[in-house]
Amino acid sequence: MSCCAPGAEMALEVAAATSASPSSEEIKLASRSLGGDIHQTDLSVPTVHCGACIQTIEAALGSVENVVSARVNLSTKRVSIRWRGDIVPPFFAVLGRLGYQAHLFDPEIHEKDRTLSELIRAVAVAGFAAGNIMLLSVSVWSGAEGPTRDLFHWLSALIAIPALAFAGGIYFRSAANALRHGRMNMDVPIAVGVSLAYTMSLYETINHGEHAYFDASVSLLFFLLIGRTLDHVMRERARTAVNGLSRLAARGAVVLRDDGIREYVPVAELARGMRLLIAAGERIPVDGDIVSGNSDLDCSIVSGESAPKAVSAGTHVQAGTLNLTGPLTMQASAAAKDSFLAEMIRLMEAAEGGRSRYRRIADRVSALYAPVVHLAAFVTFLGWMVASGDWHRAMTIAIAVLIITCPCALGLAVPIVQVVAARRLFEAGVMVKDGSAMERLA
């Protein structure tokens, strides 16, 4: 299983749709003030892949002048940047130099999960090719020799080509993009290992060799893609905690204008000072104060108390609570993005992307993974060349070093456990604000 998700095409589409980086004014409008001259900007970066990507982005953005902090959430593929001052730091230029396409995060945009569709197609192609090559390999393993063995090797080579080009393209594109921008990620050793295994097998086939490894290279891709698909599905399910909170938000509200006209307004356009009419059965869209009316509210999302709370004129109410019994007129005291519910969503996302001690250790180790593995493979090749003088054997063992060192436990195991645990706790009525809290309880 590898950790780098296929996102190059999505990134190119985003880049084409936004031919230029947003202006400073657009970035300021999309940012929110945290007080004390500190602002937070959320960027969507679809090509964030693994622990090495996280380390690279956070280090690069953290070194930019006036940037207070940068945090990458691998589950949502989002970067949260806190910065100070009136001059917007060059976020997009920095990410562009690293090879990452980015755009301002818009919570109203819900993109179709094309990554899962691509992964399923890749698994199907790799599985079909691996199964057929295995059938051909049975004859070779059973003792086929001469022209028969060569024929089956050539058939295996032909079947492997589309599998490597389509299914393996996920790894090759990710590795090529990383190397093109002078960095390493965890897909590089997999791409190099699979390519060398196929090349070695083709060399053996051309020279009528006894052994070829087409079945191993394609089967490796098949199992890696299965693992990646399961990881992607698990991450999407883990995001249901945040999505569940988002679904509690009202989509809009009836605004009572000064001239008495009632108008339905989307929640994003609700502003402080507006008078809102909340019917029984509707959720409070923004934080505010009751102007008139009496009712009972379900405030379990706020306090955890399941018993309804009686409210009347002058009572302060919070977004996400449910009006149960009677109509209310309220005055908004904050916009939707500054409401209690929006802050809860941000806290959940921060908990998912938080850095506990073990997670920081895993990120640092995973950032060193690719260079160390390539160095180990190279040293192995030199060692066996010196010891045996057989370049074929030395190359075969070096390839084995590259393809058996699965990186996922380093870069993904700790984050995915934290994300899944946060979701399970939320379903049980406990909201996690800091992932290190779970670590301290363990």
**CATH number of the domain that residue 291 is part of:** 2.70.150.10
Residues 165 and 192 in one domain: yes
End-to-end CA distance of the chain: 27
User: In a 3-state reduction of DSSP, which class is residue 260?
Assistant: coil
φ, ψ of residue 370 in degrees (nearest 5)? -60, -50
CA–CA dist 339, 270 (Å, integer): 11
Which tokens sit at 181?
């921008």
Which of the listed residues 289, 324, 339 is the one where a domain comes to its end? Answer: 339
Which pLDDT does position 436 carry in this prediction? 62
Q: Please check whether residue 109 lies inside any domain of the structure.
A: no
φ, ψ of residue 30 in degrees (nearest 5)? -80, -10
Which tokens sit at 281?
């059965």
CA–CA dist 246, 76 (Å, integer): 14
The more confidently predicted of residues 369 and 148 is 148
Q: Please check whether residue 246 lies inside any domain of the structure.
A: no
Number of Cβ within 10 Å of residue 173's Cβ equals: 18
The more confidently predicted of residues 26 and 122 is 122
Q: CA-CA distances (angstroms) from residue 354 to 185, 232, 244, 346, 348?
A: 21, 19, 20, 12, 10
Kindly state the average pLDDT of the residues 282-287.
Answer: 88
Among 6-10, 84-88, 201-205, 340-344, whose mean pLDDT is lowest?
6-10
Residues 324 and 197 in one domain: no
Residues 99 and 31 in one domain: yes
Kindly state the average pLDDT of the residues 291-305.
Answer: 84
Residues 198 and 233 in one domain: yes
Which pLDDT does position 136 carry in this prediction? 86
Which of the listed residues 104, 125, 154 is the one where a domain comes to its end? Answer: 104
For tokens 């670590």, what's the residue? 439
Q: What's the domain count of the chain?
A: 3
Contact 73, 352 (CB under 8 A): yes
Kindly state the average pLDDT of the residues 116-133.
Answer: 89
Residues 382 and 237 in one domain: yes
Domain extent, residue 56, equals 8-104
Kindly state the average pLDDT of the residues 353-382.
Answer: 71
Which tokens sit at 36?
């004390």
Contact 436, 356 (CB under 8 A): yes
Which pLDDT does position 127 carry in this prediction? 92
CA–CA dist 177, 359 (Å, integer): 26
Which pLDDT does position 183 carry in this prediction? 75
What pLDDT, in 10s, does the model give residues 140-172? Answer: 777 777 788 888 889 999 999 988 889 888 888
pLDDT-derived band of residue 194, with 50, 70 and 90 as boundaries?
Answer: confident
Residues 223 and 179 in one domain: yes
Assign residue 42 a region: left if phi > 0, alpha if psi is -120 to 50, beta otherwise?
beta
Residues 52 and 81 in one domain: yes
DSSP string, 309-346: EEE-TT-EE-TT-EE-SS-EEEEE-S-GGGSHHHHHHH
CA–CA dist 254, 284 (Å, integer): 11
Number of Cβ within 10 Å of residue 110's Cβ equals: 9
CA–CA dist 430, 139 (Å, integer): 58
Which pLDDT does position 11 carry in this prediction? 38
What pLDDT, in 10s, does the model give residues 221-263? Answer: 888 888 778 777 776 666 655 666 666 677 788 898 888 888 8
HEC letters along 44-74: ECCCCCCHHHHHHHHHHHHCCCCEEEEEEEC
Q: What is the DSSP letter of 103?
A: E
Residue type, 57: I
Which tokens sit at 38?
């500190």
Exposed / middle / buried, residue 422 (Cβ in 10 Å: 0-12, 13-18, 19+): buried
Which tokens sit at 167?
């299914």
Which pLDDT does position 15 carry in this prediction? 38
Confidence check: pLDDT of 273 > 80: yes
Give me the percent of the chain exceeding a pLDDT of 70. 76
Among 41-55, 59-73, 289-303, 424-438, whose mean pLDDT is lowest?
424-438
Residues 212 and 354 in one domain: yes
The dihedral sign for the CA sequence 381, 385, 391, 392: negative
Residues 69 and 216 in one domain: no
Which pLDDT does position 382 carry in this prediction? 93
The more confidently predicted of residues 390 and 366 is 390
Kindly state the average pLDDT of the residues 318-339.
Answer: 87
CA–CA dist 205, 199 (Å, integer): 10
Q: Please check whether residue 1 lies inside any domain of the structure.
A: no
Rg (CA), the chain: 27
pLDDT-derived band of residue 3, with 50, 70 and 90 as boundaries?
Answer: very low
Which pLDDT does position 413 carry in this prediction? 58
Number of Cβ within 10 Å of residue 424's Cβ equals: 13
Q: Please check whether residue 223 lies inside any domain of the structure.
A: yes
Which pLDDT does position 319 carry in this prediction? 87
Which pLDDT does position 331 carry in this prediction? 92
Residue type, 226: I
For 216, residues 6+ apart whose C-beta sits below 8 A from its C-beta are 197
Residues 123 and 234 in one domain: yes
pLDDT-derived band of residue 365, with 50, 70 and 90 as boundaries?
Answer: low
The CATH number of the domain holding residue 16 is: 3.30.70.100
Which of the listed residues 54, 73, 104 is the one where a domain comes to its end? Answer: 104
Residues 87 and 133 in one domain: no
Residues 30 and 173 in one domain: no
Q: Please check whether residue 212 lies inside any domain of the structure.
A: yes
> Mean pLDDT for the chain?
78
